[in-house]
Amino acid sequence: MKKFAIAAATATALTLTMANAAFAQTTTTQAPMTLAAGEMTKAKETTSDTWITTKVKSDLVTEKGIPGTDIKVETNKGVVSLSSTVAVTEAQKTTAVAITKKIKGVKAVSADGLKAE
């Protein structure tokens, strides 16, 4: 009876060990890394967009002759949209676009939302 109990315990231990090994092989250890890499890419884009928006806004506010506080800046994947509720001159609009285009990371600028006089 003792030999049977030892054999049964050994068989159970081996079965559990083999099941563990088989389970470990079927689970993908790269999935969390891939997921994390995707999240990091999103975080970098968000950080870059936030940085671009902040930089554009600060440059517009400090530029003489531009109503920087009245210009709304939004960035999505490097594309900057400028808009305002107050009218700006065509020269101010051109200057705002030129300032925005010079900023690192800006891929395109849309100034359709700027109301020109």
**Count of C-beta atoms within a 10 Å radius of residue 83:** 15
Q: Are 80 and 87 in contact (CB under 8 A)?
A: no
Residues recorded for the chain: 117
pLDDT digits (tens, 9 = 90+) for 38-70: 666 666 666 699 999 999 999 999 999 999 999
Split into its structural domains, the chain has a count of 1
Q: Which pLDDT tens digit goes with each residue over 66-110?
A: 999 999 999 999 999 999 989 999 999 999 999 999 999 999 999
User: Residue 17's domain spans which residues?
Assistant: 2-116
Locus of tokens 């949209």: 81
